[in-house]
């Protein structure tokens, strides 16, 4: 599945056609260039094929941005929060290595729903920092306890902080967003109805383009962040919405303004001098630990991420009927997806052969075999390493997932249960080795779903841990909500799914969340809200990696 829009046609087919030849020579071509370093801070792990000084500067910059957000929005937890991985791409060549055929205008992306929560930034793009700050604001917001914010504010919050200027001796935020301003300047009668923006729903006629919703979300957030009085009103509004009050009603109660009056207020605000804030806060100098990646790991960086982004269980493209694609176009895109998948498998196996004597080669080969629907070969690759002394969480987890692949295809119930028990044993050992990897807990859930007495208290607890470790994962939230619903815990299901339902970026996840919430509300005897569609996505960098998981 694509993580963002890919170019179709000749370029994609050409990439696939030369994939096998490229893979054979990949090791020698990359080895001469790859000098990858790893920088670790309190909240990030940043990888870059760059100088130590450049990597240290970048790691400090994103850590200071995190400190800025935490100054205004403290997050208290009683457990360790996994660090976000950021990969620094050095221009379009690297961007195409990680996503063949990626649009030239994509300056980076963030994906919370693949096998790996991570971000990629094109460090040569002038929009690189804007993309990373925007996406990290989304990532950060999901860690807040009261995170069921309305869609427009989810997007407006990220847009507002995305233009922050973070340097060693100064932090400023609240700058103009030129792209959003351009969307709003044609005139008052071109703006989308503010009531629809507040509910993040398209008009019946579909008259207003999606980019207006995003632009007005940014403008409205900027307006409310501009004075202490407006910040107080915004807080009252958000509190009311989170408690279940209709967004339009809550806004009018908090501000005393109708949607039309609020729209005029925001428009007048934008015509004046908007506030750029320079907070007088002291942020400690971030500590950065830099290490050099082993040669095999450095050479496989982009393949490693591509393998994580490619779902083992393939599903049809997320087409909700609004894309208006012809059947021939859908078929062509499906062929190109298959070609790129085949090229990835060939490249991964070729690289694995180069490094067959170490951990990198084992994991590349095993994951590639899973993609080609050969879990038996994946297990055969890992088998020599699966003794009782093995403590590598990734090797144990991948072996367990290969066993679960076999269990899904097994027609003998007793044999399938035996495979699941073996997988559960490997996952338990993986959890001991790395208790902060949410994928391990989802794997444990895979061993139990559909089993006797599912979901038990322990099943629910396992999913609660997965969601706590990765609150950004829509897959984890949907699984937990399903378990809650099976236990008649409808209110809890609604609570865990509201951030998914309110995501400004529509996907199969958001539609599924709204369906479950509607069912939960109906079972509780509550009014089922209108399921009108959200606007189209406006930013490719924010599209979830895939609607399929393992």
Query: pLDDT tens, 165-187?
Result: 988 778 899 898 888 888 888 76
Q: Domain count for the chain, please give it.
A: 1
Query: Does residue 202 sit within a domain?
Result: yes
pLDDT of residue 532: 57
Q: From CA 152, how far away is CA 164, in angstroms rounded? A: 20
Place of tokens 């299901």: 493
- Residue 229: give the domain boundaries: 176-275
Task: State the pLDDT confidence band at 244, using cuts at 50, 70 and 90.
Answer: confident
pTM (two decimals) = 0.88
Instruction: Count CA atoms closer than 13 A to 509's CA, side-chain side.
Output: 29
Q: Is-contact 106 66, C-beta < 8 A?
A: no
- CA 495-499-505 angle, 5° bins: 150
Average pLDDT of the residues in 117-132:
96
Pairing, β 84-89 against β 118-122: parallel
Percent of the chain at pLDDT exceeding 70? 86
User: 187, 209, 396, 263: which is closest to 404 by C-alpha?
Assistant: 396
pLDDT grade, residue 30 (50/70/90)? very low
Beta carbons of 163 and 140 less than 8 angstroms apart? no
Closest CA to 62 of 5, 129, 15: 129
Handedness of CA 162, 167, 171, 177 (dihedral sign): negative
Average confidence score pLDDT of the chain = 87
pLDDT tens-digit readout, 41-59:
999 999 999 999 999 999 9
- Residue 415: other Cβ atoms inside 10 A: 12
Taking CA atoms, 403 is separated from 425, 435, 443, in Å, by 11, 21, 11
The pLDDT of 448-474, averaged and rounded, is 95
Sign of CA dihedral 404, 409, 414, 415: negative
What residue spans of 283-388 are helical by DSSP H?
295-299, 301-309, 327-354, 359-371, 375-382
Predicted confidence band at 535 (pLDDT cuts at 50, 70, 90)?
low
Residue 536 in this model has a pLDDT that exceeds 80: no
Per-residue model confidence as pLDDT tens digits over 367-389: 999 999 999 999 999 999 999 99
| 426-447 confidence digits (pLDDT tens) | 999 999 999 999 999 999 999 9
The reply to whether 248 falls in a domain is yes
Q: Output the six-digit token pair for 447.
A: 């061993």
Is 146 domain-assigned? no
Coil, helix or strand for 123? coil
According to DSSP, the residues that pair with 290 across neighbouring strands are 39
pLDDT at 4: 39
DSSP 453-492: T-S-HHHHHHHHHHHHH-TT-HHHHHHHHHHHHHTT-HHH
- The mean per-residue pLDDT over the stretch 70-86 comes to 89
Largest CA distance in the chain: 71
Nearest to 82 by CA among 133, 49, 117, 50: 117
| Rounded CA separation 50/366 (Å) | 29
d(CA 359, CA 11): 34
Smallest CA-to-CA distance from 125 within 93, 92, 94, 85 is with 92
**Cα–Cα distances in Å, from 196 out to 187, 206, 210, 504?**
18, 11, 11, 13
216 vs 544 pLDDT, higher one: 216
Query: With contact defined as beta carbons under 8 Å apart, do 424 and 447 qualify?
Result: yes
2 occurs within a structural domain = no
Residue 409 belongs to a domain: no
CB neighbours of residue 323 within 10 Å: 11
> Does pLDDT of 13 surpass 50?
no
Contacts of 345 (CB under 8 A, 6+ apart): 368, 371, 372
């Amino acid at each position: 599945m694509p993580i963002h829009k890919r170019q179709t046609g000749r370029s994609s087919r050409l990439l696939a056609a030369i994939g096998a030849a490229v893979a054979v020579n990949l090791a020698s071509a990359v080895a001469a260039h790859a000098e990858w370093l790893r920088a670790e801070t309190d909240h990030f792990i940043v990888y870059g094929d760059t100088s130590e000084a450049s990597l240290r500067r970048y790691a400090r910059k994103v850590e200071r941005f995190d400190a800025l957000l935490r100054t205004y929005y403290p997050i208290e937890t009683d457990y360790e929060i996994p660090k976000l991985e950021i990969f620094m791409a050095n221009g379009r060549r690297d961007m195409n290595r990680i996503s063949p055929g990626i649009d030239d205008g994509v300056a980076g992306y963030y994906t919370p729903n693949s096998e790996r929560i991570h971000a990629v930034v094109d460090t040569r793009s002038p929009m690189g920092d804007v993309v990373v700050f925007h996406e990290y604001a989304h990532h950060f917001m999901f860690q807040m306890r009261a995170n069921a914010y309305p869609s427009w504010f989810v997007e407006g919050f990220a847009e507002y902080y995305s233009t922050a200027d973070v340097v060693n001796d100064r932090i400023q935020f609240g700058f103009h967003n030129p792209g959003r301003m351009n969307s709003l300047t044609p005139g008052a009668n071109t703006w989308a109805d503010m009531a629809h923006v507040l509910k993040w729903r398209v008009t019946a006629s579909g008259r207003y383009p999606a980019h207006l919703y995003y632009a007005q979300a940014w403008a409205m957030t900027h307006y409310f962040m501009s004075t202490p009085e407006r910040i107080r009103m915004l807080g009252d509004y958000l509190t009311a919405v989170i408690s279940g009050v209709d967004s339009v009603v809550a806004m009018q109660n908090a501000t005393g303004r109708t949607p039309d009056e609020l729209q005029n207020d925001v428009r007048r605000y934008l015509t004046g001098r908007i506030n750029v804030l320079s907070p007088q806060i002291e942020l400690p100098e971030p500590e950065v630990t830099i290490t050099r990646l082993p040669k095999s790991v450095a050479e496989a960086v982009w393949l490693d991420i591509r393998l994580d982004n490619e779902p083992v269980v393939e599903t049809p493209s997320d087409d909700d009927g609004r894309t208006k694609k012809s059947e021939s176009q859908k078929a062509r895109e499906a062929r190109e997806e298959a070609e790129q998948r085949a090229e990835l498998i060939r490249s991964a196996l070729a690289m694995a052969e180069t490094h067959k004597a170490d951990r990198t080669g084992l994991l590349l080969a095993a994951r590639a075999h899973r993609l080609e629907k050969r879990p038996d070969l994946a297990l055969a690759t890992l088998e020599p390493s699966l003794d009782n002394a093995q403590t590598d969480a990734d090797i144990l987890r991948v072996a367990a997932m290969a066993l679960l692949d076999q269990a899904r295809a097994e027609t003998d119930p007793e044999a399938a249960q035996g495979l699941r028990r073996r997988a559960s044993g490997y996952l338990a050992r993986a959890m001991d080795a790395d208790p902060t990897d949410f994928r391990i807990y989802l794997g444990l859930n895979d061993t139990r779903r559909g089993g006797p007495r599912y979901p038990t208290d322990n099943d629910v607890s396992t999913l609660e841990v997965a969601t706590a470790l990765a609150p950004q994962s829509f897959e984890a939230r949907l699984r937990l909500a399903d378990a809650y619903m099976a236990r008649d815990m409808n209110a809890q299901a609604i609570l865990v799914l509201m951030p998914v339902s309110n995501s400004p970026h529509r996907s199969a996840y958001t539609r599924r969340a709204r369906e479950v919430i509607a069912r939960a509300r109906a079972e509780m005897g509550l009014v089922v809200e209108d399921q009108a569609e959200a606007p189209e996505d406006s930013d490719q960098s924010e599209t979830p990696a895939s609607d399929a998981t393992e």
